[in-house]
């Protein structure tokens, strides 16, 4: 089992959340909400208005998202779904837990005493240089005030 931090279209209420619910892809269980310990640039870019977490720790904002525990099958599915390693790269990130619904079990299943967890996140180090100058967001909603509607995969 692995923890994954999602910040974009995979969150609850967003266009691609359904893939986390589809048992044919593997198992994913919601654990809680969190925010990256370090700031990162979260930008909306490209012709389909995709949210991208640029792998530039220390720049941008502390990004809000959701924490899931996933099995190996789901992790492999997400790697393919996210175009890993070409579009996104699965990298470790430290997340501050804001709300926890996960198991209250062994220390490995719980946030650390400082309220943080290590998770995987799909970020990118391969982006157009001008993306760094796009507005940085601290959270993402496909129908947000940013005015950049996400173009779902099925419409491309």
CATH of the domain at 9: 3.10.490.10
Residue 14 within a domain: yes
How far is the C-alpha of 45 from the C-alpha of 64, rounded, in Å? 18
Residue ranges, the chain, pLDDT below 50: none
Residue 12 burial (C-beta neighbours within 10 Å; 0-12, 13-18, 19+): exposed
Residue 57 within a domain: yes
Look at residue 156 in the predicted model and tell me its pLDDT: 84
Over residues 140-151, the pLDDT tens digits come to 999 999 999 999
User: Half-sphere exposure (CA, 13 Å, Cβ side) for 5?
Assistant: 28
Whether 82 sits among the annotated catalytic residues: the reply is: yes
The C-alpha R_g of the chain, in whole angstroms, comes to 15
Residue in 38, 66, 80, 82 annotated catalytic: 82
Residue 65 within a domain: yes
Residue 117 within a domain: yes
CA triplet 45, 153, 57: central angle to 5 degrees?
A: 35
* pTM to 2 decimal places: 0.93
Look at residue 105 in the predicted model and tell me its pLDDT: 55
> The tokens of 9 are what?
């279209």
Structural domains counted in the chain: 1
């Amino acid at each position: 089992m692995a923890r994954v931090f999602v910040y974009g279209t995979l969150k609850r209420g967003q266009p691609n959340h359904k893939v986390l619910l589809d048992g044919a892809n593997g198992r994913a269980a919601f654990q809680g909400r969190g925010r990256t310990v370090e700031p990162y640039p979260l930008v909306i870019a490209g012709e389909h208005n995709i949210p991208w977490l640029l792998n530039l720790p220390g720049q941008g904002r502390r990004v809000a998202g959701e924490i899931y525990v996933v099995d190996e099958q789901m992790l492999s599915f997400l790697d393919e779904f996210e175009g890993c390693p070409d579009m996104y790269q699965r990298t470790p990130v430290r997340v501050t837990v804001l709300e926890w619904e996960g198991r209250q079990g062994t220390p490995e299943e719980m946030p650390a005493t400082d309220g943080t967890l290590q998770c995987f996140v799909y970020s990118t180090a391969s982006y157009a240089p001008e993306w760094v100058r796009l507005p940085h967001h601290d959270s993402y909603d496909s129908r947000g005030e940013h005015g950049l509607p996400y173009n779902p995969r099925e419409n491309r």
